[in-house]
Structure 1
Amino acid sequence: MARERVPVVAGWFGGEGEEFRLTGTRCRSCEAVFFPREDAFCRNPECGGRELDEVPLARRGRVWSYTDGRYRPPAPYVCDPEREWQPYTLVAVELAAERMVVLGQAAPGVGVADLAVGMEVELVPGVLNEDEEHLWMTWHWRPVTEGAL
């Protein structure tokens, strides 16, 4: 039986394949883009705008910074305490068009030795957790390889 794919946070990302994107919002007044999305008011302190449009964010960006997580985070982070802890890599990615930096995990198999500041990376779907009925979906950043779209 196939497990249901459920986003860990509804409304933050969606799509399949090349259409997989993080979802932000853009203020109609000042053009500022926000992620995570904002649906009530413009977060720009110099703007009083309240009209926001949903926008897909860029799929590619450049590594701004990165680090590894070598410890098991405390609750509410979801992990099986019976399983051996597996370190993970966090990547801060600059999206030039949106003028923002978005944090996310690196794709499985990508460690700090595989990354460099300024390296181009792309957004890919990932699994944060799973159980017998669900795959809890998130996003990951993966280095762009030659010839990749």
Structure 2
Amino acid sequence: MTATPAIEGWFTTGDQPALIGERCTTCATSYFPPTAAAAGFCRNPRCEGTEFEQVELSRRGTVWSYTDTRYQPPPPYSAPEPFAPFGLAAVELPEGIVVLGQVAAGYGPDDLRVGMHVELVVEPEHTGEALIWRWKPLAEGSAA
């Protein structure tokens, strides 16, 4: 079985995966997930824009905050048995938005610090049936 994105249209796969966002054509404010067009209006309260373009967001960002999961999330989340805690990172992208995601396989909260640079990767979730985006810490000196 070939894994497919857990949420179609939210990210690309391949060698250089990217999150797919929307940008208001009036004020250039970017959004993720891509739902602004469905709403029919720009979420920027100072903008009256109603047209949006799909854009690939930056693949690298900076850890804004992070935590770990010490309890198994309730359904409909599907967790591996036995449950193993995993890291979550809130990453600020150059577009000025913060995107939450799990930390890449092999990394945890002890590998993170606020302000460090991370890169988007796409990995199979625990069952291997779906692909999800995750944040992978970059080596010191790697720019966002």
The alignment's TM-score, normalised by the length of structure 2, stands at 0.90
Runs of 4+ in structure 1 displaced over 4 angstroms? 146-149
CA RMSD of aligned residues (A): 1.8
Structure 2 match to 1:10:
8
Structure 1 match to 2:132:
138
Correspondence 1:34-53 to 2 at 5 A: 34-38=31-35, 39-40=37-38, 41=40, 42-53=42-53
Separation (CA, whole Å) in 1 of partners of 2:79 and 2:105: 16
**CA separation of 1:79/1:113 partners in 2, compared to 1, >3 Å: closer, same or farther?**
closer
Is the contact made by 1:27 and 1:53 (CA closer than 8 Å) also made in structure 2? Answer: yes
Q: Is 1:94 equivalent to 2:113 in the alignment?
A: no
Is the contact made by 1:105 and 1:140 (CA closer than 8 Å) also made in structure 2? Answer: yes
- Give the fraction of aligned pairs with identical amino acids, expressed as a percent: 46
What amino acid maps onto 2:22 in structure 1?
A: T
- Tell me the alpha carbon deviations over residues 5-47 of structure 1, each in whole angstroms, 9 at most, x when there is no partner: 22111110013112x1000000001111000012232222222
Gaps of 5+ in 1: none
Structure 1 match to 2:114:
117
Separation (CA, whole Å) in 2 of partners of 1:25 and 1:123: 18
Separation (CA, whole Å) in 1 of partners of 2:131 and 2:18: 13
Is the contact made by 1:129 and 1:137 (CA closer than 8 Å) also made in structure 2? Answer: no
The number of residue pairs the alignment matches comes to 140
Separation (CA, whole Å) in 2 of partners of 1:7 and 1:56: 16
- SS of 1:17's partner is coil
- SS of 1:21's partner is coil
Correspondence 1:56-71 to 2 at 5 A: 56-71=56-71
Deviation at 1:48, TM superposition (A): 2.2
Is the contact made by 2:117 and 2:142 (CA closer than 8 Å) also made in structure 1? Answer: no
- Tell me the alpha carbon deviations over residues 98-118 of structure 1, each in whole angstroms, 9 at most, x when there is no partner: 101110000011111111110
What amino acid maps onto 1:103 in structure 2?
A: L
